[in-house]
A and B are shown apart, each in its own frame.
Chain A
C-alpha cells in the first residue's frame, strides 16, 4: 500500500474504532491524547493495527510510537 493511502486507511479505522473524527488526527498529534487511550484501550489500538494491516507492534515498541507520524512510519516500513 502506498504511504498516502496507508495513512488515510489508518486514520479511518482508528477514528471509527475510537469514535473520533478523522479531522481530529494530525501527524504531530499525541496518539494517547487524541484517541483517549488508557493502558487497556492501548491494547485495542495495537490489536486493530495488527488485524487491519498485519503489522504487529511489540510491547517494547509501543512506548516509542508517540505520535501518528511515528505510527504511519512504523506500519509503512513493517507492512508485508
Chain B
C-alpha cells in the first residue's frame, strides 16, 4: 500500500511576482515578465531578451555567514522556500524535530565559477577567490545552502535534469513519500538570471530575436515563433504524506497522482515525439485516471520550432480528440529552465485554485500541429480539478506530473 502524496505549501520568486497573490494576478491578467536587456547587447548577445527579476537583498534576513555561500539562485530559492514553509504551517521547531527532506532542481551556477576563474587567472592566488566561491559554484549549491539554513535532516539532493530538473525533483520526492522513505520533502527548482549563465545558450541561436517587441517574443505554439526567451527565479512546494498532513492539521492543497518519466535516447537538443509521449502515458497510467478527467495541460512548450511541434504531436498522440485546454505559461515567463518544472506546477495550481486558465500569450496563428490542440489565446474562466504538467530537457530527459485538487 503506497502513501498518498499531497501538496501543503507553495512559495515562489518569479518575474510574475514574489507572492502567490501577485503571481495569480499576473497569470489572470496575462502580464509578461520579458524585457530587453541592453547589457546583453553590449556583451555580444544575438538576443538581449530576458525575464526581469531583481536579486533579493537578504542582509536583514540572513547573517553574513549564511549569505556568503549563496549565489543568486540560492537567494531566490531561500525566498521561495521560506514562503512555502510558512504557507504549509511549518516552523523551525517542526524542522528541528522531523527528518524533512530536500530535493531541488538546479543545473548551473555560472557567475561564481566565472569570478573564481577570473581571479585565479589575474591574481594567480587562490586565496583571493574567498571562502564562498567553492560552495556557490557547485551544482548542489541550492540544496547545500537550504539544508544548512533551514536545518533539514532528511534526504538532501540536487536534481540536475536540465529543463526538467524542477519537475523531476517533485516526482522523485513523491516517490520517496509514496514508498514510506520520507514523510515530508521540500521540492522545487531554481534558475540563475544573468547573462553569463545563458551566453552559450544564446550562441546556439536558441533565443528569440524579436527584440523590438519583448512581450511578444515568447509565443509557444504560434506559427511565427522564433525561439525561447531565458528566465528564472525559484519555486518551492512542500509535499508530504496525506497522513502527515492530516496529523498536522495542514492545509491540503492538492494531491500528486502520477509522475511519469522517460529519456529520448536520441539527439542532445532536438526532442522527439516518442520520448515525451511515453512520459505522458506513464504519468496518466500511474495516476490511475481517465484522460477525460484532465481539465488542463500545462505544456513544456518553450517557443522553439521543433520543441513545440513535437510536444504538440506527443500531446495529441496521447489525448487524441479530447478537448483539453493546453497552454504554455512560458508565454508570460520565458523559459525558467531548471526552475520551470516546479514553477509551472505552482502556476497551474494557482489557476486551478482560482478557476481560470490564463491565456497562451501571442498565440495568433496555429501551425499544423498546434491547430489540433485546444490552445486558448485569451484567458478563460474554467473550474478544473486535475491538471497535467510537462517538462522536457536537453539530452532528451522528460518528466510529467499529474496533480488533482483537494
User: Contact residues of A with B, CB < 8 Å?
Assistant: 17-19, 36, 38, 40-41, 43-44, 46-47, 50-51, 56
Ranked 8 nearest A-B pairs via Cβ: A40-B131, A43-B131, A47-B128, A19-B64, A44-B131, A47-B130, A47-B127, A44-B130
User: Contact residues of B with A, CB < 8 Å?
Assistant: 59, 63-65, 68, 125, 127-132
Q: Which residues of chain B are within 8 angstroms of A56 by Cβ–Cβ distance?
A: 125, 127
Q: Contact between B128 and A41 (Cβ–Cβ < 8 Å)?
A: no
Q: Contact between A43 and B65 (Cβ–Cβ < 8 Å)?
A: no
Q: Contact between A41 and B127 (Cβ–Cβ < 8 Å)?
A: no
Q: Which residues of chain B are within 8 angstroms of A17 by Cβ–Cβ distance?
A: 64
A27, B132: Cα distance in complex, Å:
28
Q: Which residues of chain A are within 8 angstroms of B129 by Cβ–Cβ distance?
A: 47
A31 shortest CB reach to chain B, Å = 15
Q: Which residues of chain B are within 8 angstroms of A43 by Cβ–Cβ distance?
A: 127, 130-131
B294 shortest CB reach to chain A, Å = 50
A47, B132: Cα distance in complex, Å:
12
Q: Contact between B131 and A18 (Cβ–Cβ < 8 Å)?
A: no
Q: Which residues of chain B are within 8 angstroms of A41 by Cβ–Cβ distance?
A: 64-65, 68, 131
**Which secondary structure characterizes the binding site on chain A?**
helix
Q: Which residues of chain B are within 8 angstroms of A44 by Cβ–Cβ distance?
A: 68, 130-132
Pick the contact of B128: A19, A36, A38, A51 (CB < 8 A). Answer: A51
Q: Which residues of chain B are within 8 angstroms of A18 by Cβ–Cβ distance?
A: 64
- Of A18, A36, A41, most B-chain CB atoms within 10 Å: A41
Q: Which residues of chain A are within 8 angstroms of B131 by Cβ–Cβ distance?
A: 40-41, 43-44
A19 shortest CB reach to chain B, Å = 5
Q: Which residues of chain B are within 8 angstroms of A46 by Cβ–Cβ distance?
A: 127
A7 shortest CB reach to chain B, Å = 23
Residue contacts A-B, CB under 8 angstroms, 24 given: A17-B64, A18-B64, A19-B59, A19-B63, A19-B64, A38-B65, A40-B131, A41-B64, A41-B68, A41-B131, A43-B127, A43-B131, A44-B68, A44-B131, A44-B132, A46-B127, A47-B127, A47-B128, A47-B129, A50-B125, A50-B127, A50-B128, A51-B128, A56-B125
Q: Which residues of chain A are within 8 angstroms of B63 by Cβ–Cβ distance?
A: 19
A28 shortest CB reach to chain B, Å = 24
Q: Which residues of chain B are within 8 angstroms of A36 by Cβ–Cβ distance?
A: 65
A50, B128: Cα distance in complex, Å:
8
- Of A36, A47, A51, most B-chain CB atoms within 10 Å: A47
Q: In chain B, what residue has the closest Cβ to A36?
A: B65
A43, B133: Cα distance in complex, Å:
11
Q: Which residues of chain A are within 8 angstroms of B65 by Cβ–Cβ distance?
A: 36, 38, 41
Known: A44-B131, A44-B132. 9 other contacts (CB 8 A): A17-B64, A19-B63, A19-B64, A41-B64, A41-B131, A43-B130, A47-B128, A47-B130, A50-B128
A40, B66: Cα distance in complex, Å:
12
B231 shortest CB reach to chain A, Å = 32
Q: In chain A, what residue has the closest Cβ to B65?
A: A41
A51, B123: Cα distance in complex, Å:
10
B115 shortest CB reach to chain A, Å = 12
B58 shortest CB reach to chain A, Å = 12
Q: Which residues of chain A are within 8 angstroms of B128 by Cβ–Cβ distance?
A: 47, 50-51
